[in-house]
Structure 1
Amino acid sequence: MKIILINSFDSIDSDSKYSIGDESISNEGLIKAREIGAELKKKGLAKLFTSSFQSATETGLIIKKVVPLELCSVSEFRARNNFGVFLGWDKEEARKKFLSEVEDYESNKPYHQVSGSEDYFDFAKRITSSFNSIIKKEFENKTPCIGFVLHSCGIEVIFRELIGFEVNEILEGALIEFDFDGEGFELLSSKGISGIESTSI
């Protein structure tokens, strides 16, 4: 079974604010999502599972306009609240008011302890549990190709916790394709992602 991971497009205010993707995507993102849809049309995608956050669901809806598929929203795939007490704050203002918290976030990713943020291990568990449940069911149902519109933090967790790789950068609209044989994953192609390194010793 083919599995395609798609990084959702950024929300409108993501450059200036600490945002977790629960807002509309930018106009540029809307255009690029249509281009992604045209690319995915060639892949035989049958089902698309998205985060319940707005930027991911909008990305999925745009893809569905191009690709005839079943679209499913999954709350457990929502982005991690990394920012806690400074969520929604302007980035410059947050640094002035919450300097130690911002520095903890920047220096200790993904294991920081920012006040009010979601614990990394709780986040990783909800992502991997839902992902594993879906791929197992779809593999048993012999679905040929499924996709996931996730946030970059969710894609990082899948690489780190399930595949055993760290990634340095995941761009908006990144596409990563795997083959899944019921037990393990084989990376077939990647676009918009860099610095893939094994976490094994």
Structure 2
Amino acid sequence: MTVKKTVIIISDDYFYLNGLEFLLKNDNHLNVFCHYVYQNQKKCFSDSISYDIHNEKSIIILAVDDLDLIRKFAACFSTNVIYSLRTLGKREMVLYYKGALVINRCLSIWRMLDVIKKYGRVNFMPGISLTQKEEQVIFSYFNLTGTHFNAFKYKTGIKKISHYKRSAYQKMLVNGDGEAHFVVKALSEIRTGVL
């Protein structure tokens, strides 16, 4: 008899939470638990979640739009967390970045089940492995304003910025700045939480 994986879905989107719960409960190999995050509960709710970080059979799917919450989870739970992001694009996005699995909410249920079943196996997902320059360019592009960005642009060069940004977007499976904005912000918070 195989041990069922436990999937804990935490979301501030009630419809996504109920839809994903309904679809995942039809799979006999998963125990599914849901937790809806209320607006006034966001500050301290991660303390109330009972979760064994050493259990390879437990996975948290965090589907929130609050970047502070994403950073807190990255700091508290370094393994077995899937970050589900709301993006503008309709392409299925699955990235493995600095030990975190990041997906978008357009992911089909079959791909989601495949990701959940394979999660925890060594090298089941290739990392996007951004180079140091690509990370520096995309994080600077979305974080610097005005004169700071002009100085960065002058120092790095417009063609190099364009090249590194394009190659990073291809690795992240996004099409442009609008689609990449929230993904880059979330990756930045995950990187901050992990460090």
Same fold (TM over 0.5): no
Q: Which structure's CA Rg is the greater one?
A: 2
TM-score, normalised with respect to structure 2:
0.32
Which structure has more strand as a fraction of its residues?
Answer: 1
